[in-house]
Structure 1
Amino acid sequence: MTSHNVSLAVASPNDLAEFKKDLQEAFAIAVIEEFGELPNGPIPSDEDLDKANNAPGAVALRILRDGENVGGAVVTIDQETHHNTLDLFFLKVGEHGHGLGHKAWLAIEARYPQTVTWRTHTPYFEKRNIHFYVNKCGFKIIAFFHALHPDPHHPGSDDPVGGEGFQFEKVMR
């Protein structure tokens, strides 16, 4: 495997439209594989992405391989508690399987060394993501959300892919 320099850069406001398109294309692959089609437009929706990008403490990061844009992440950083979240994480279509995701995650950890815990989530059907977070990045599954145990942060979710998924946590110190 070729070694690549993976780094992060804050996405510029002028880059957010392309950032959203790249993220939605990456997310669409798994949804189409599981459900055969996108239920009601892109996932996440433009509105959900705008909400994530504009949330207090949110930072949209571009993942760069040797200076070339290969993905992105949205993190929410709590400067007081240092309990942070990885809200969105993706590699562009065609960039999986080269170790870039793990290198990108390590770069995110290094960028925020004061973090006490990281939390993230993924849909139940995303086996590749579950493997990545648990086996590669050291997260632990702390909850499984479904109709009888809904996510308290998204009550009554009308998630077009069912709203079922895992919540993960990684304790840093």
Structure 2
Amino acid sequence: MKPDDGDERVILKPAQEADLTEFRIGLQNAFAAGFTAAFGTAPDGPIPSDEELEGFFHAPGAVTYHVLLDGVRVGGVVLTIDSVTHRNSLDLFFVSPDQHGRGIGSSAWRAVERMYPETVAWETHTPYFEKRNIHFYVNRCGFKIVEFYNAHHPDPHPEAREGVPDGESFRFEKICSHTAG
């Protein structure tokens, strides 16, 4: 995939343990803004919870990056990298709400893909109400919706979707072109 002009301005920088509090706050603020936009009210507590985030940050294979635009932190990404199967997971991804609509997320995703060219497939999830995320993953990043979790088809890992109203969410997958058929 040919980088566009914005790609040179957006880079990923590994987050250090000392950065995780600031990262957590930025992510929770971005997720709360999406919740508030969808439901007209703020969530009852931080989403994801501090405990959930600790689990993501310190899971086996987890890597956490700041998204920088011209050297300024404007978002972040948490990935789980499986160096054996090369089936990797996009666990958390955010761009600060005041930076939306500038192509930063697309540039950051292309940077992720360039960093992990051996990836066979990527997987991610998003709540059903996050239309902006659904648009981004499907129309900008090339993911496909492969599963819809709901009361009739519950998520096998419900603890990972804590705070999602009705537990409804989508699972997305992207088979990488260098491995497809």
Task: Return the TM-score normalized by structure 1.
Answer: 0.93
Q: Does 1:23 align with 2:24?
A: no
Which of residues 94, 110, 117 is equivalent to 2:114?
Answer: 110
Aligned residues of 2:87 and 2:120 also touching (Cα < 8 A): yes
Aligned residues of 1:39 and 1:161 also touching (Cα < 8 A): no
- Could you say if the C-alpha distance between residues 51 and 155 of structure 1 is closer, same or farther in structure 2, counting changes exceeding 3 Å? closer
Q: Partner of 1:94: helix, strand, or coil?
A: helix
Q: State the one-letter code of the partner of 1:63.
A: V
- In structure 2, the gaps of 5 or more residues are none
When the two structures are aligned, how many residues end up with a matched partner?
172
After TM superposition, give the deviation of residue 36 of structure 1 in Å: 3.1
- Superposition CA RMSD, Å: 1.7
Q: Does 1:123 align with 2:127?
A: yes
Which of residues 148, 151, 173 is equivalent to 1:147?
Answer: 151
User: d(CA) in 2 for partners of 1:148 and 1:61?
Assistant: 36
User: d(CA) in 2 for partners of 1:97 and 1:66?
Assistant: 16
User: d(CA) in 2 for partners of 1:106 and 1:85?
Assistant: 15
* Aligned match of 1:71: 75
Equivalences for 1:1-12 in 2 at 5 Å?
A: 3=6, 5-12=9-16
- In structure 1, the gaps of 5 or more residues are none
After TM superposition, give the deviation of residue 158 of structure 1 in Å: 5.0
User: d(CA) in 1 for partners of 2:161 and 2:27?
Assistant: 21
- Give deviations 1:115-171, integer Å, cap 9, x for gaps: 000000111111111111001100000000011111112269653523211110000
Q: Partner of 1:71: helix, strand, or coil?
A: strand
User: d(CA) in 1 for partners of 2:55 and 2:159?
Assistant: 16
Identity of aligned residues (%): 54
Aligned residues of 1:84 and 1:117 also touching (Cα < 8 A): yes
- Could you say if the C-alpha distance between residues 114 and 158 of structure 1 is closer, same or farther in structure 2, counting changes exceeding 3 Å? closer
* Aligned match of 1:46: 50
After TM superposition, give the deviation of residue 32 of structure 1 in Å: 1.3
